[in-house]
Amino acid sequence: MSDTFLDLDYEDIDLGMEKSFSVTITEELVNKFSEISGDISPLHMDEDFAKESQFGKRLVHGMLLASFISQMVGIHLPGRNGLCVSQETQFPNPCFIGDTVQVVGKVEKKSDVGRILTLDLKIFREPDCPVLVGKIKAMVLAKKKLKNIEKTEGMDLSNKNVLIVGGSGEIGGAIAKTLALHKANVTITYNKSKESAQKLKDEMLTENCVLTAYEADLTSPEGLNSFFQNLSLEDKSFDTLIHCAAGDLEQKSFADSTWEDMQKNLDISIKGFFSITHKLLPAMVEKKSGNIITVLDTQVIGSPSEKNAPYVTSKYALLGLSKALAKEYGPHGIRVNMLSPGLTDTDFVKFMPQRIKDTVAFETPLKRIAYPDDIAKIALFLVSDLSDYLSGVNLPICGGHDMV
């Protein structure tokens, strides 16, 4: 088994590209496959029975041979970014324990719609004796583009004073970087992620950007009052609030959930937002100008995932409160909008198996999941004056996965 992945993007793969590898079919391999699959047919597992058959000895499971398709797609061609989506196979000749087979895959067709490769795949036990032939369709997932956040020409936010609650997280941090790079005066709060907040401050300092960080538990009256006392001492005020704090996405059935689970999520998503907004709104009303952005989740747009009742409930509650504020405070010149990211490549979903992430990418028209920078770019638009006639809107950032 190879531990070296081919790491090509769709555009790097040419028609006619061919990869191959060989495998020796041992008795141990056949026995393991039988245990995993539950196929204990005597043709495969009983030496005496197999001797009396027309083959004269134990046959290798056809689906064991077919399992090498997974190795071809996931490691060799297309490799690390490959996901098998369909296969049509035939088994023209038998394969036996002790055979060394050659697995050969060749790119026969490329479909730009969906980034799909059609592979001609053959497995030989001898040069002129194929034991499996088939057509495989594999999607090449879009590779994550690691790049620095770039400034948008002509976008100057030097007149914006922005407070980002939960600004040390990956989405909040990406938003903070993007706004700071566009000259906004950015302040973030964090509760437990002091190291991440300091790293963000240091990074922005090297870019000559203004970014301040405060440790604050905004769900407690003491933490809230302490935070605003510090702001008063430094004569800080804000015209824009972005609420990025999120609760716990831990999967747990409703039957196993407690009210404490629900309360924890509501405190972070609703109580914290309610408390900070309550403090900031009077000044916004007095100035007849303000901008509030809440970060939700596409689960409030489409069908929510299973076993996430506390998290989903808190996001729906935040959606309702955001819309209510947009309606009530619009006449005071205050805009309230929402961002709903789809599945995003952050540590928040690190518990999720990669196969599930790949499946979501496959189901997404743009063929990848979101990155924090994707959310930050839309936040930049909402903070800027380009969106000054937009209010009460929930924008899905999901590559077309959830359409409204």
Question: What's the rounded mean pLDDT across residues 129-146?
Answer: 85
Please say if the pLDDT value at position 273 is more than 50.
Answer: yes
- What pLDDT is attached to residue 326? 98
End-to-end Cα separation, the chain, in angstroms: 45
Q: Which residue has the higher pLDDT, 362 or 381?
A: 381
Please say if the pLDDT value at position 215 is more than 50.
Answer: yes
The DSSP string of 106-154 is EEEEEETTTTEEEEEEEEEEETTEEEEEEEEEEEEPPPP---PPPPPTT
Question: What's the rounded mean pLDDT across residues 136-155?
Answer: 70
Question: What's the rounded mean pLDDT across residues 350-357?
Answer: 83
Place of tokens 């196929």: 39
Please say if the pLDDT value at position 248 is more than 80.
Answer: no
Please say if the pLDDT value at position 331 is more than 90.
Answer: yes
Please say if the pLDDT value at position 145 is more than 80.
Answer: no
288-327: burial string, b at 16+ Cβ within 10 Å, e else: eebbbbbbbbbbbbeebeeebbbbbbbbbbbbebbbebbe
Please say if the pLDDT value at position 239 is more than 80.
Answer: yes
- What pLDDT is attached to residue 1? 42
Please say if the pLDDT value at position 149 is more than 70.
Answer: no
In tens, the pLDDT along 62-76 reads 999 999 999 999 999
- What pLDDT is attached to residue 162? 97
Angle, vertex CA 368, rays to CA 147 and CA 121, nearest 5: 115
- What pLDDT is attached to residue 329? 98
- What pLDDT is attached to residue 143? 66
- What pLDDT is attached to residue 152? 67
Reported as a pLDDT band with limits 50, 70 and 90, residue 2 is: very low
- Per-residue tokens: 113: 């719609």
Percent of the chain with pLDDT over 70: 96
Neighbouring CB atoms inside 10 A of 372's CB total 21
Average pLDDT, the chain: 91
Question: What's the rounded mean pLDDT across residues 200-207?
Answer: 88
Most confident range (mean pLDDT) of 49-58, 149-158, 242-251 is 49-58
**CA 65 to CA 123: how far, in whole Å?**
8
**CA 116 to CA 130: how far, in whole Å?**
25
Question: What's the rounded mean pLDDT across residues 155-176?
Answer: 93
Q: Which residue has the higher pLDDT, 142 or 300?
A: 300
- What pLDDT is attached to residue 24? 97
Question: What's the rounded mean pLDDT across residues 71-90?
Answer: 93
Instruction: Classify residue 24 by its DSSP letter.
Output: E
Reported as a pLDDT band with limits 50, 70 and 90, residue 165 is: very high
Please say if the pLDDT value at position 3 is more than 60.
Answer: no
In tens, the pLDDT along 379-399 reads 999 999 999 999 999 999 999
Residue ranges per structural domain of the chain: 10-140, 161-397
Domain 10-140 fold is Thiol Ester Dehydrase; Chain A (3.10.129)
In tens, the pLDDT along 21-56 reads 999 999 999 999 999 999 999 999 999 999 999 999
- What pLDDT is attached to residue 229? 87
Question: What's the rounded mean pLDDT across residues 282-304?
Answer: 94
Q: Domain 161-397 - what CATH class?
A: alpha beta
Reported as a pLDDT band with limits 50, 70 and 90, residue 9 is: confident
Give me the helix-helix angle, 170-181 and 372-383, nearest 10°: 50
Question: What's the rounded mean pLDDT across residues 336-361?
Answer: 89
Q: Which residue has the higher pLDDT, 307 or 291?
A: 291
In tens, the pLDDT along 92-124 reads 999 999 999 999 999 999 988 778 999 999 999
